[in-house]
Amino acid sequence: MNAENIVIATAKERNLQIRYVRAPDGWVGPENFELTHGDVPVPGDGEVLVRNHYLSLDPYQRRQMIPGVEYVRPLRLGAIMEGRTVGEVLQSQHRDFRTGDFVYGDFGWQQFGVLRGEEIRKIDTTLAPPSAWLGVLGSPGITAWVGLLHVAKARAGETVIVSAAAGAVGSVVGQIARLSGCRVVGIAGGPQKCRLVVEELGFHACVDYRVADFEAMLAQATPDGADVDFENVGGTVFDTVLTRMNDFGRIALCGLVSQYNLREPQGLRNVATLLNRNLMLQGFRVGHYKEQREPALHQLADWVRQGKLRFRETVAQGLEKAPQAFVDMLAGHNVGKQVVKLV
């Protein structure tokens, strides 16, 4: 089948799409989205038509719904939901891409999409399955590497705490910390996640933040305190972690997922600890560390190839499941990277 035939075939198909139609007030829900049908787009000069195979669901997409949000692009009501995907090239009008190539791009919550060749990247599906390029070999993996090694500068022999430890970013952070010779303590929701983090991902300990004596349990898991906090959660979890930080500890503030669905953000009670213990707190946005992308990817790919870095995924089946899967991911129903399988 040549490329022309493929496009004729797809032109008969409808393009299932999910639009963002209502701004949430508090928790986001499926009612904030609408399923619509569009045409399969036709690529123009320099463009590539892709059939999306996997869609990535990420906490920043909830931030995009916050009025007046900084740093992420706000979502437009009525527009197709923005989102990263991996998929297969059906037709290319760009010299660097061929039919059958697998690529990564911001194609959004839809089955088919068109982008310019400069906006997408080829992925190597012989190294890892396509969905891994949205997780361990995608933005979450690179975020973990940059935040832990470049921002917090974790060193062998140090104790590292990581919150949302069973999630896409946290699960990679903990494994990189272990591979770097650190003692790593995860924080996650529920005993099952904690067990997985220790037994499957090799963390030295994991504490369930939902138990009443969380503070005491975290103290027990960090008898020598913590030198690094990789902060994914914020709120009361972060407040508790602050009490465990050692003098001159470093905090890489990656995310505040506990806050994204709140009408009003919570404050920090233990902020004085930053002063009292000479702590360094640095927020970071992975998009600003473009020069770290290639070294990070190189190392992550090596570890995956050698079987040193494990990755887990939670897979929802079908685009129509994306809204509920998005809500569920924010509520902690995912283990590892949350994706939606579209093909």
Ligand X SMILES: NC(=O)c1ccc[n+]([C@@H]2O[C@H](COP(=O)([O-])OP(=O)(O)OC[C@H]3O[C@@H](n4cnc5c(N)ncnc54)[C@H](OP(=O)(O)O)[C@@H]3O)[C@@H](O)[C@H]2O)c1
For position 164 contacting ligand X by CB under 6 A, the verdict is yes
For position 255 contacting ligand X by CB under 6 A, the verdict is yes
Q: Do 71 and 288 contact (CB within 8 A), yes or no?
A: no
Residues in the chain: 343
Residues 318-337 that bind ligand X (CB under 6 A): 329-330, 332, 334
Q: Do 207 and 187 contact (CB within 8 A), yes or no?
A: yes
Q: Is the dihedral of CA 287, 288, 293, 299 positive or negative?
A: negative
Q: Which one of residues 43, 170, 249, 323 is an interface residue with ligand X (CB under 6 A)?
A: 170
State in angstroms the smallest separation of the CB of 187 from ligand X.
Answer: 7
Span of 159-167, 196-204, 212-220, 222-230 interacting with ligand X by CB under 6 A: 159-167
Q: Which one of residues 112, 137, 258, 326 is an interface residue with ligand X (CB under 6 A)?
A: 258
Q: Do 80 and 110 contact (CB within 8 A), yes or no?
A: yes
Site mask, ligand X, residues 127-146, x = CB under 6 A? ------------xx--x---
Q: Which one of residues 254, 304, 322, 340 is an interface residue with ligand X (CB under 6 A)?
A: 254
Residues 195-224 that bind ligand X (CB under 6 A): 209
Find where tokens 């009008």 sit. Answer: 93
Q: Which one of residues 3, 266, 284, 324 is an interface residue with ligand X (CB under 6 A)?
A: 284
CB burial class (10 A; 0-12, 13-18, 19+) of residue 140?
A: buried
Q: Is 341 helix (H, G, I), strand (E, B) or coil?
A: strand
For position 30 contacting ligand X by CB under 6 A, the verdict is no
Contacts (Cβ under 8 Å, ≥6 apart) of 161:
184, 185, 186, 187, 218, 222, 226, 228, 229, 230, 241, 244
Identify which of 221, 258, 222, 220 has the alpha carbon closest to the alpha carbon of residue 238: 258
Of the pair 89, 340, the CB lying nearest ligand X is at 340
Q: Which one of residues 17, 49, 51, 58 is an interface residue with ligand X (CB under 6 A)?
A: 58
Point out which residues bind ligand X (CB under 6 A): 58-60, 139-140, 143, 164, 166-170, 188-189, 193, 209, 232-233, 237, 254-258, 284-286, 329-330, 332, 334, 338
